[in-house]
Amino acid sequence: MKLEFVDSLILAHPFIKGFDQVSYCLSEEEVRAVAQGEISDAVASRKKEDIEGKEGAGPVYSTTFYIGLAIEPRTGQILPSPWVCYWLLNLIKFSWCYRTPQARYLLSNDRVYEASEDVGEV
């Protein structure tokens, strides 16, 4: 099933521009957190110069894509997120331009007020 067949979905607006980010991590624990989308203030404010010469430190490169969904407000009706997530994730994973051995995929369900400041750039 695809998004266009969801009755309560009014609009699906993909942001065609990806948002690239480099996070400079000091430990494997920070790398794992960043890979899960959890970027602490300390990691976000860290610069390349802050990790130079430190053992185990390195950059983590990520690109974030957003799809805005407008859902009709109905009592008791929600978007069936498990299959939507599965469909979107497979769409991304099997797209020719994202097939790299290093790529990892994380899908999160955020409200507009929880979205990154990046979305305001579009």
Q: Is the pLDDT of residue 122 over 50?
A: no
Q: What is the total count of domains within the chain?
A: 1
- What is the per-residue pLDDT across 22-39, written as a single tens digit (0 to 9) for each? 999 999 999 999 988 888
Integer Cα distance of 111 and 45 in angstroms:
24
- What is the per-residue pLDDT across 40-87, written as a single tens digit (0 to 9) for each? 999 999 999 999 999 989 999 988 777 777 777 765 555 556 766 677
pTM score above 0.75: no
Cα within 13 Å of Cα(39), Cβ side:
17
Q: Kindly give, in sequence order, each residue whose CB lies less than 8 Å from that of residue 61, ignoring residues fewer than 6 positions away.
A: 20, 21, 22
To the nearest whole percent, how much of the chain has pLDDT over 90?
25
- What is the per-residue pLDDT across 92-121, written as a single tens digit (0 to 9) for each? 777 656 666 666 666 666 666 566 666 664
Q: Which domain holds residue 86?
A: 3-121
Q: Is the pLDDT of residue 88 over 60?
A: yes
Contact status, residue 57 vs residue 51, Cβ threshold 8 Å: yes
- What is the per-residue pLDDT across 1-23, written as a single tens digit (0 to 9) for each? 566 667 777 777 777 777 888 99
CATH number for the domain harbouring residue 116: 3.30.70
pLDDT at 97: 63
